[in-house]
Structure 1
Amino acid sequence: MSAAYATAARETVTLSAGRSRDKDLRSLVFLGALWFSLLFGILVLLVLILTTAVKGAPRFDMALLTDYSSQLFPERTGFRAGILGSVWVMLATAALAVPLGIAAALHLEEFADGQKWWNRFIEVNLQNLAAVPSIVYGLLAVAFVELVGIRERGLVISGAIALALLILPVIIITTREAVRAVPREIREGSLALGATQWQTTWRQTLPAAVPGIATGTILGLSRAIGEAAPLLMIGTATAIRFDPNGLMSQFTALPLQIYSSTSQSQEALQVAASAAIIVLLVMILALNGLAIYIRNKFQRTW
């Protein structure tokens, strides 16, 4: 009997450690294929990044960041308008999407009745909306701005609406997961001390879920900053030579300027576009790094 218990204990330890005795040829071939796919994808990505960086190396200068685009002097063309336009539209997108997404997630997770058919319908559609192509959100934004009476095309507010619609499902889903990870005992303890459900949510659940919410929100914004299709649908121009100064100002975005420069036949513009791709990649990696820092700095273990 003791031998049987010892064998069962060893098997339990093996399974919990992720090891298995099943090492036949098929499992080894499958494992090798998985590792090969992973390494191949990473290798291709590194080659693309290095090739782009080498091509754009002659244009890693301040003019790339401080000058405007120029067809007459392509060797001095810059992406100042695109960088500032991306910053403006990202700030407006965050102002629109973050409060609405967090509020919707808190309502669905803490207050809504999950047995009602309309709440189940909303939850199913949220999962589907997260996988909808970005150009569809551009079409939806066009219809929305026409509905509210905005006739001028290519405005900062229009771009913010398109990108806010794009990342709103992501923010709602990640916020719900962060709120769901808060232990139930915290809610029950607060309610037992006489707090209302709203006070419990506002003072206990939401602060405990902030690291997960911030991480998901920043990752959603890092996705939006590289999108070009929704901005094209709302009529965003690419040859803007001024800085945006408000929500009702016209703007261009860095991905759109990169697309426009790579489609030109002039070699100098393509070199500048390669350098701008690295700038955009650095911006995205900085946002992802900020998300990782917030998660590691403020996450709690329950």
Structure 2
Amino acid sequence: MNSNTNEKIAFSLLILATLIVTGFVLVILAYIILNGYGAISIEFLTQMPNRMMTAGGIFPAIVGTIALIIGSMLVALPLGVMAAIYLNEYAGESRTTWLIEMAINNLAGTPSVVFGLFGLALFVKYFDFGPSILSASLTLALLILPVIIRASEEALLAVPNEYRESSLALGVSKWQTIRYVVLPAAIPGVVTGSVLSIGRVAGETAPILFTGAAYFLPRMPDSIYSQFMALPYHLFVLATAGTNISETRSIQYGTALVLLIIVLGINLVAVVIRRHYRNKLKI
């Protein structure tokens, strides 16, 4: 076979793989929407749960999930970006750098339940934060830190060296070059890593199970030291707590649909931000 034939075959396989993945995503979305849209209402989104979560709304779980996303990103995003800047811009090739990179890789491959146990031991017990939004947010921040570091590193590596050299040639300091030239150019890639992290934070159950998620809490948390409800744990309990599946089926899929909408909504905002910065770079 000539090169043109090989190229056509490879291109066809890539298209087929893309269609298969897209098909699976659409099937999952359609299944959740068809089973969950009937439960969506103003009352479902704004009321407290009752009858041990087999009736009522999911408002505390929505607030708890959003609080976890905000809390974990406030910790993980600056730490991850700063770590990536150090590794990419300041740390040279050395044994210490190699050890740091290996630690990040190992952290990325650690099961989420291990993070939950670590958060229980460190934040809940040792620092005495108790089962709370703070403990869960810090645990989730550790969970997503490797994703943000890796995405930020790749974004920084994608910035052409000409940007750095031109800035330094004008007498600008290295830190000012990173802050005003390199980092703005890398923001679209950093936002991509943040989007992946938000999706993982919103969907994790094991870490919050150990660090503060409540089984049934028909009230709002009053501080970061309060226990909370969260959509993924709410969904987990509905599916596994021995309740009547036929009675809670619509609530289960309604909860899954709300969680999906929140993640997609935040991702959409992140895409808009990324496109804004890409357009600025083109100007």
Instruction: Give the TM-score normalised by the residue count of structure 2.
Output: 0.87
The residue number in structure 1 matching 2:117 is 139
Correspondent of 1:46 among 26, 39, 50: 26
Report the alpha carbon displacement of residue 86 of structure 1 after superposing the two structures with TM: 0.8
Rounded Cα–Cα distance in structure 1 between residues aligned with 2:40 and 2:154: 41
Report the alpha carbon displacement of residue 177 of structure 1 after superposing the two structures with TM: 1.1
For residue 49 of structure 2, what is the amino acid of its counterpart?
S
Check whether the contact 2:58–2:255 (CA below 8 A) recurs between aligned residues.
Answer: yes
The residue number in structure 1 matching 2:64 is 85
Check whether the contact 1:219–1:291 (CA below 8 A) recurs between aligned residues.
Answer: no
User: Do residues 150 (structure 1) and 135 (structure 2) align?
Assistant: no
The residue number in structure 1 matching 2:256 is 277
Correspondent of 1:121 among 99, 103, 127: 99
For residue 20 of structure 1, what is the amino acid of its counterpart?
N
User: Do residues 239 (structure 1) and 216 (structure 2) align?
Assistant: yes
Report the alpha carbon displacement of residue 32 of structure 1 after superposing the two structures with TM: 7.3
Residues 186-205 of structure 1 correspond to what in structure 2 (within 5 A)?
A: 186-205=163-182
2:92 match: secondary structure: coil
Correspondent of 1:293 among 247, 250, 272: 272
Q: Unaligned regions of 5+ residues in structure 2, if any? A: none
Check whether the contact 1:215–1:294 (CA below 8 A) recurs between aligned residues.
Answer: no
For residue 182 of structure 1, what is the amino acid of its counterpart?
V
Report the alpha carbon displacement of residue 140 of structure 1 after superposing the two structures with TM: 2.0
Check whether the contact 1:238–1:253 (CA below 8 A) recurs between aligned residues.
Answer: no
Rounded Cα–Cα distance in structure 2 between residues aligned with 1:262 and 1:72: 13
| Residues 239-264 of structure 1 deviation map (CA, whole Å, 9 limit, x = unaligned) | 01111222111111111111112232
Residues 1-302 of structure 1 correspond to what in structure 2 (within 5 A)?
A: 20-22=4-6, 39-71=19-51, 74=54, 76-114=55-93, 116-146=94-124, 148-150=126-128, 152-153=130-131, 155-263=132-240, 264-299=243-278, 300=281
For residue 290 of structure 1, what is the amino acid of its counterpart?
V
Rounded Cα–Cα distance in structure 2 between residues aligned with 1:297 and 1:103: 22
| Residues 179-198 of structure 1 deviation map (CA, whole Å, 9 limit, x = unaligned) | 11112122112222222211
| Residues 119-155 of structure 1 deviation map (CA, whole Å, 9 limit, x = unaligned) | 11111332332232222221221222156421622x0
Q: Measured at CA, do residues 175 and 282 of structure 1 come closer, stay the same or move farther in structure 2, by a change above 3 Å? A: same
Report the alpha carbon displacement of residue 214 of structure 1 after superposing the two structures with TM: 2.1
Report the alpha carbon displacement of residue 103 of structure 1 after superposing the two structures with TM: 0.9
1:225 match: secondary structure: helix
| Residues 25-76 of structure 1 deviation map (CA, whole Å, 9 limit, x = unaligned) | xx96x987776665455444433332332222331111111111212784x4
Rounded Cα–Cα distance in structure 1 between residues aligned with 2:53 and 2:273: 43
Check whether the contact 1:94–1:164 (CA below 8 A) recurs between aligned residues.
Answer: yes
Rounded Cα–Cα distance in structure 2 between residues aligned with 1:73 and 1:136: 28
Rounded Cα–Cα distance in structure 2 between residues aligned with 1:287 and 1:73: 26
Check whether the contact 2:212–2:227 (CA below 8 A) recurs between aligned residues.
Answer: no
For residue 200 of structure 2, what is the amino acid of its counterpart?
R
Number of residue-to-residue matches in the alignment: 278
Check whether the contact 1:236–1:252 (CA below 8 A) recurs between aligned residues.
Answer: yes
Q: Measured at CA, do residues 146 and 237 of structure 1 come closer, stay the same or move farther in structure 2, by a change above 3 Å? A: closer
Instruction: Give the TM-score normalised by the residue count of structure 1.
Output: 0.82
Q: Unaligned regions of 5+ residues in structure 1, if any? A: 1-13
Q: Which moved more, 1:63-72 or 1:174-183?
A: 63-72
2:218 match: secondary structure: coil
Query: What RMSD over aligned residues (CA atoms) do the two structures have, in Å?
Result: 2.6
Q: Give identity over the alignment, percent.
A: 32
For residue 48 of structure 1, what is the amino acid of its counterpart?
I
| Residues 187-226 of structure 1 deviation map (CA, whole Å, 9 limit, x = unaligned) | 1122222222112212221122222212221321122111
Q: Measured at CA, do residues 147 and 61 of structure 1 come closer, stay the same or move farther in structure 2, by a change above 3 Å? A: closer
For residue 28 of structure 2, what is the amino acid of its counterpart?
L
